Structure 1
Amino acid sequence: MLKIIDKYILKRYLATFSVMLLMFIPIGIIIDVSEKVNKMIANKVPFKEIAIYYFDFTIYFANLLFPIFLFLSIIWFTSKLANNTEIIAILSSGISFSRFLRPYIIGATAVSLFALLMGFFLVPSASAGFKNFRYMYLNNSGISGMRDNSDVYRQISDDEYIYVSNFNNVSKVAFNFSLEKFKDGKLLYKINASRLKWNPKDSTYTMFNYKKRTIGLLDDVFEKADKKDAKFNFDLDDLSPVVFIAETLSYGELTSFIEKERKRGSSNINTYLVVLYKKYSIPVAAFILTIIAVSVSSMKRRGGMGSNLAIGILLAFSFVFLDKIFGVLAEKSSFPPIIAVWIPNIVFGILAIYLLRNAKR
């Protein structure tokens, strides 16, 4: 009997969640098409590119909104069970509320593992395609809009720093370039150039109006040239970093990238860490939201399913609100990213424990 009930609830859990996704994603696509169709036609976007974009769009938004879809789908079918007095019948047969939760936890585990794998491997690729398409065809900013082209200041090694005031992605030319080399906190030399041009044939850079000042014990040594070729230990992307790069990297690539940026003293390290920590926090949210949804909707209320859905929508958007607020706070301030990312789960975890105790009573 218990196995039959488990299969019945688990089947409803997964089926309702799948139907919820299949219902809302096409609606999202239709709304997006209605808003963007004029720009797509004006920019003569190939149909193949549009098809790939909406495939990436589906994965990107399914991952972004899956906690809400999961939460509402559980409230929906659990409220139907409660209204049909099926939950009363199950509990009256001697099954405890904790045992009643088992198929929900199994379902949450399956969904969380799927979301975790998607976040590690599939979502980054979809995010890259989604973002690139928007910049190329919809935002009218092209490649330059994807990249941080102005006032780029980066640490390229433990003791070397570069700066460019602007970088042209088409001509591969940086302006007002400078490189500073330190040792034990003291400046060894500084290189300046009005322009820095990338040479793809031999992976070198050409500096125009080249100047170098080497700091000496008594006198400094100056070197000048109208043009000078050199090799540097930084990549072309270091002169024009992609603003959403962290979202497009798989888990292994992201951890390596963060370590590299941490050594460089990147000012965007908190943004990258938020992306990394969310890969874990979002799947964990599935368990918390599942417990809250069951606790809220397992009792038969006067308002019926509508009352439960209203409570569910309020809680779901409160979760999203907290997630966004603390995510932005971590990215724009010195607030620890790991705490900011996990605060919504902690707050709603406490709420889940409270609601679960009340539901058991």
Structure 2
Amino acid sequence: MLKTLDKYILKRYLGTFITMLLLFVPIGIIVNLSEKIDNLIESKAPFDEIVYYYACFVVNLGYLLFPLFLFLSVIWFTSKLANKTEIIAILSSGISYTRFLRPYLIGATLVAIIFFVIGLFILPKANKGFYDFKYTYLRSKSKVLKTSDIFRQLTDNDFIYASSSNPSLNEAYNFTLEHFDGNVLKYKIEASRIKFKEKDSLGNNIYKLTSYIKRNIGVDGDSIERKVRKELIMNFDIEDLTPVNYMAETLGYNELNDFIEREKSKGSADVNRYLVAKYKRWSTPVAAFILTIIAVAVSSMKRRGGMGVNLAIGIAIAFIFVFFDKIFSVMAEQSGFNPLLAVWLPNMCFAFIAVYLLNNAKR
């Protein structure tokens, strides 16, 4: 059963964190709305979809920034306790520093569990709503279709390419499929647009191709088939032509695992990107414990400069943490750096810092 001290600190811990979220998330909404208002008016987005977009935006922003909000909120209220000599009184009563830290760890556990569940089950759906709305309404006509070139190897013999895609419409543009027999090209299919239509009774994917051209390569000459529109059954999913980040962030955990296995079997060069997204769903909640310990160790001592010094130190540490987290993630996505190590290395480094600062604060 929680003691009076535990209840007091836990109440301040959770209360300050929630207050921080309620203060900064609306600011994020206002800034985003001010940037996107022209696009919203131009695209004539329905009001209910705008509301849903910003609900998804709140989940996305809150999950992205919650470790920093938690870190700064702990520094804020712990510094206030230190300035009022409440911490000195607590420790002078015979309570050890480790015992004083217990309600902080309880609070970190609650926050970590909540955001772990959000990351696994709620965030993917919110990201899908966020990106669907963004691709549909928040891009100018000149930019809506400008995504990176997309190339996939489906099998040993089949390769597909698209210059761009629109995930919200389940379609891609400037599509090409090439079929090889060994090193010999047997036929090539081209279309200005490919759109997923439906699955048939056997579960096969039916696509509608616009400006369809099929070139059959023969020994004595090529034959060409042209159609304004043609429906074909093809053995790939429309998600294969979806931008990498979009897919990684919108799949549930089990779906993401299955998708990673499929991409590995295809020899995709983007597997590391998906693995980074997968591992971050575990590492981000764990950061709540590490940052909480660092925040308490930094702010529990009464300093001559008061709360401002503690906040300055805390903000500096927070930016360093974000910097390392981003650097290692990019290294894993763009090179052969191990994704698991890249995601967990910032946590491990700052865990050592947390232990050092905690021991120093005890003394």
- When normalised by structure 1's length, the TM-score is 0.87
Establish whether residue 139 from structure 1 lines up as the match of residue 114 from structure 2: no
Instruction: Decide whether the 8 Å contact of 1:167 with 1:174 is kept in 2.
Output: yes
Q: Name the structure 1 match of 2:257.
A: 255
Q: For 2:223, what is the secondary structure of its paired residue? A: strand
1:13 and 2:9 are equivalent in the alignment: no
- Following superposition, the deviation at residue 205 of structure 1 comes to 6.9
State which of 265, 279, 282 in structure 1 corresponds to 2:267. 265
1:154-195 CA distance string (max 9 Å, x none): 1213x233133546768967657343356xxx4476322344
Q: How many angstroms does 1:131 deviate by?
A: 2.0
Residue number in structure 2 paired with 1:316: 318
Q: Is the 8 A contact 1:57 1:126 kept in 2?
A: yes
Aligned to 1:238: 240
Contact 2:244/2:270 (CA < 8 Å) preserved in 1? no
| Deviation by residue 1:179-220 (Cα, 9 ceiling, x = unmatched) | 3356xxx4476322344866847626776243145xxxxxx6
Q: Where does residue 350 of structure 2 map in the other structure?
A: 348
Task: Tell me, in whole angstroms, the C-alpha distance in 1 between the residues paired with 2:22 and 2:175.
Answer: 52
Would you say the 8 A contact 1:180–1:187 is kept in 2?
Answer: no
1:1-361 correspondence to structure 2 within 5 Å: 3-141=3-141, 145=145, 148=148, 150=149, 152-157=150-155, 159-164=156-161, 166=163, 175=174, 177-181=176-180, 186-187=182-183, 190-195=186-191, 200=197, 203=206, 208-212=213-217, 224-226=223-225, 231-239=233-241, 241=243, 243-361=245-363
Question: Match of 1:163, as an amino acid?
Answer: I
Tell me the CA shift for residue 145 of structure 1: 3.3
Task: Give the equivalent residue in structure 2 for 1:217.
Answer: none
- Secondary structure of 2:337's aligned partner: coil
Change over 3 Å in CA distance of 1:56–1:82 after alignment to 2:
same
SS at match of 1:101: helix
1:104: Cα distance to partner?
0.6
1:216 is matched with: none
1:244 to partner: Cα distance:
1.3
Contact 2:170 / 2:238 at 8 angstroms: preserved in 1? no
Root-mean-square deviation (CA), in Å? 2.8
What is the distance in 2 between the residues matched to 1:221 and 1:238? Answer: 35
Cα distance, 1:3 vs structure 2: 0.9
- Counterpart amino acid of residue 81 in structure 1: L
Which stretch of the first structure deviates more once superposed, 23-32 or 290-299?
A: 23-32
Alpha-carbon distance between aligned partners in 1 of 2:191 and 2:37, rounded to the nearest angstrom = 40
User: Displacement, 1:222?
Assistant: 7.1
Is the Cα–Cα contact under 8 Å of residues 166 and 175 in structure 1 kept in the other structure? yes
Q: Which amino acid aligns with 2:315?
A: I
Instruction: Tell me, in whole angstroms, the C-alpha distance in 1 between the residues paired with 2:170 and 2:77.
Output: 58
Q: Secondary structure at the residue paired with 1:303?
A: coil
Q: 1:162 is paired with a residue of what secondary structure? A: strand
How far off its partner does 1:129 sit? 1.6
Distance 1:358 1:2, change over 3 A: farther
Whole-Å Cα distance in 2 between the matches of residues 36 and 245 of structure 1?
23
How far apart are the structure 1 equivalents of 2:123 and 2:87?
Answer: 37
CA distance in 2, matches of 1:115, 1:250: 14
CA–CA separation in structure 2 for the residues paired with 1:176 and 1:48? 34
Write the distance in 2 (CA, Å) between the matches of 1:153 and 1:330. 20
Structure 1 residues 173 and 33, CA, compared in 2 at 3 Å: closer, same or farther?
closer
Q: Can you give the 5+ residue segments of structure 2 that lack an aligned partner in the other structure?
A: 201-205
CA distance in 2, matches of 1:6, 1:241: 47
How many residues align? The count is 349
User: Percent same amino acid among aligned pairs?
Assistant: 51
